Amino acid sequence: MPQGHLDRLSSIDASFLTNEGSNSHMHVGAVMIFEGPPPGYRDFLDHVESRLHLVPRFRQKLAFPPAELGRPFWVDDPTFNLAYHVRHSALPAPGSEEQLRNVAGRLFSQALDRSKPLWEIWLVQGLERNRFALINKTHHALVDGVAGVDIATVLFDLQPVPEQHEPESRWLPAPAPSSAHLAAEGLRELGETPLRLGRRALRAAMHPRTTLRRATDAAEALGEVAWNFTDPAPDVPLNVEIGSHRRFAWSRANLEDFKRIKDALGGTVNDVVLTVVSGALRNWLRGRGIRVEGLELRALVPVSIRAEDEHGHLGNRIAAMRGPLPVYVEDPVKRLQIVRASMDDLKESKQALGAEVISRFNDFAPPTLLAQAARINFSTRLFNLIVTNVPGPQLPLYVLGRELQDVFPVAFLPDHHALAIAIMSYNGGLNFGLLGDYDSMEDVDLLASGLSASLNELLDAAALEQARHQADLAAGADLPG
């Protein structure tokens, strides 16, 4: 069962716990804006409760085996209180979007309580123009940020009339495990490790050619990962000591604009996204007096390694690649060409495979080695900021009959990383959410507006290219046959 009592965290999920500190919170989420008056708090609470059985993990909390005997477990919370996780707030008049962003910044400044299930949803009323918001916050150990499965996704309906779910029989938590039970489970896991390694060795012996090919690929992949440490990310103001407080900003765009650019100038939508981010960061750095000649930033770009039969399972199945942000390039078209070529090279490389090989090794590693590997994964030597792009549904979604208008995703800040940019497309839109350290990113709003300016540069270039193409077609039509 993918979400059962006493499930052990994967090595990837455990790494998000290991990397969390007082100033580096490992929760993710979104600010979601809806049209219409907000539902009553009791109605919304009942709605969440009616869907909670679809994600059993959200009634579970962490349990740590004594003496670091392996990774922690998910166990049913015997004192689960839904009202603790579903909260209610309101904006004072006039209820501006700036006020909502400030509330989001404050909420994402607060760590989740590890003694309880690691999630919250805030119902925020009073948003101007007859709107309200939901702000959800979930620990990355609990939800795969790429697959996007969490409590918020099961609340949505495809029609204004909410889908009626079969009433759940009264939920009864499994008995809480004792320390001795957790220790025994940890020892059992450690004892099974040699058996699992033995089974792998037996399969390898039975299929020597396949094993040799996989071993060769894995060795090459690990070599590419190791090479990254010889080519560190540059030292820029994004990589400074951060505090626990956050600022949040956003930028709206249309998905069709990104498609128009990639159709005219080449590349993928994701290539265009990285190019837009590069252009905004270029102008932001120059505004801070940083020379950008020859400067290429590195973005940590999460990619899913989830198999087809694993969709719908909670837990992280992600690897990370270092995407290029060529802020040294002034011309937006050349910038896109460089991003496109670099990302094509990355897709041909074995960076993602190397990260997957490491994650599989970590499944057998002792806790001390796992902690060291986790810290390496988020080292500032490897990248300057997180840039994650998650495709969302291209049709309207509803909660209790209210249509979702905007989604602004929220990533997380590892230690010494002052900025993270999350992007999500939804129903024809493509929105950027910028999470910044409160003290060192006081100009995060300026960077958010710079995304729009960078996009407009590419749109102008795409329009010019399309006009040239039309002129060439017209000239060809006028030539004698």
Average confidence (pLDDT) over 253-268: 97
Look up the pTM and report it.
0.86
Question: For 426-465, how does the pLDDT look when each residue is reduced to its tens digit (9 = 90+)?
Answer: 999 999 999 999 999 999 999 999 999 999 999 999 999 9
Give the lowest-confidence range in 333-342, 364-373, 377-386: 364-373
Catalytic amino acids? 140
pLDDT of residue 461: 98
Give the lowest-confidence range in 70-74, 379-383, 390-394, 408-412: 379-383
- CATH C-level class of 7-180: alpha beta
- CA-to-CA dists, residue 302 to 141, 154, 243, 297, 454, angstroms: 15, 23, 24, 16, 23
pLDDT above 90 coverage of the chain, percent: 61
Residues forming a β-bridge with 387: 421
- pLDDT exceeds cutoff 60 at 375: no
Per-residue confidence at 313, pLDDT binned at 50, 70, 90? Answer: very low
Residue 29, classified by CB atoms within 10 Å of its CB into exposed (0-12), middle (13-18) or buried (19+), is buried
Distance CA 165, CA 6 (A): 27
- CATH C-level class of 201-387+430-478: alpha beta
**Equal fold, 7-180 vs 201-387+430-478:** yes
Average confidence (pLDDT) over 246-266: 98
- pLDDT exceeds cutoff 60 at 74: yes
Give the lowest-confidence range in 210-214, 271-275, 297-301, 391-395: 210-214
pLDDT of residue 351: 56
pLDDT of residue 308: 45
Average confidence (pLDDT) over 171-200: 71
Q: Where are the domains of the chain?
A: 7-180, 201-387+430-478
Query: How high is the mean pLDDT of the chain?
Result: 84
Nearest by Cα to 66 from 186, 206, 157: 186
Distance CA 358, CA 213 (A): 17
Token pair, residue 391, equals: 């495709």
